[in-house]
Amino acid sequence: MPLGATTVTLEDVSLQLGMPIDGEPVAGGSSGNLLQLCQDLLGDIPPENMFIGNRIKLSWLNSRFRELPDDATLATVGQYARAHILILIGSMLMPDTSASLVHFMFLPLLTNLEHISNFSWGSAVLACLYRALDHSTKFHQDNIGGCMLLLQCWAWERFTCISPEIQAVTEDEIVAGLAFPLSVRWCRQTRSVFHDQTTVVGFWKKFDQIQPKQVHYQSML
């Protein structure tokens, strides 16, 4: 950009999404008996047509774990919790370009639900976004993966020339914890600055003409 380079950082992940950026690495594998893994951790085995390699279709997870049974045991609650975390990972936090599949490598990390918060999920989300942005520069790439929520909220936070108008957060909402993570503030939009100019060319023009006062280099806490 005319004013120099800037990028999404771990601090942005922590503030925008409220995710941990310290802790154990989000790393694993999908070797072994995947069907048995599903049975042990999800309590069910997907049909064969719900697998593509080492990835499972989000449509099956959404359908199978849509509503928790009234007579659910503690073990059943854990299975539904794991399924919904997988859906979040595959659809919002670390989606691939298909936006319809989630990799099995994440399932073993959800074995102990009480231990999940010890992982550095924020670091994994940022790494996934960087990788997706790098792949998106290839001429044959049609779609983009990664956490677009993070990228969009970061852009709105940093560049006032493209950010929508929002209602101010009240002191009562801050005390009640309704002002964090920072991404929730964008639910309070009153008007988009692109209500009459939503083309790619329009965005390019905004960035080409950006002024120093339109850039926030620190998060607005």
pLDDT per residue as tens digits for the range 97-134:
888 999 989 999 999 999 999 999 999 999 999 999 88
Question: How much is the pLDDT for 220?
Answer: 60
**What are the phi and psi torsion angles at 181 (to 5°)?**
-70, 165
E strand spans, the chain: 51-52, 55-57, 101-103, 165-166, 189-191
In terms of Cα–Cα distance, which of 162, 164, 166, 163 is closest to 206? 162
Question: How much is the pLDDT for 31?
Answer: 64
DSSP 8-class letter at 145: -
Question: How much is the pLDDT for 30?
Answer: 63
189 forms beta bridges with 166
Q: Tell me which residues of the chain have a pLDDT lower than 50.
A: none
Question: How much is the pLDDT for 117?
Answer: 93
Q: Cα(21)–Cα(62) distance, rounded to whole angstroms?
A: 28
In terms of Cα–Cα distance, which of 151, 120, 153 is closest to 23? 120
In this structure, the number of other CB atoms found within 10 A of the CB of residue 167 comes to 11
Q: Cα(182)–Cα(174) distance, rounded to whole angstroms?
A: 11
Question: How much is the pLDDT for 21?
Answer: 95
Q: Cα(183)–Cα(16) distance, rounded to whole angstroms?
A: 5
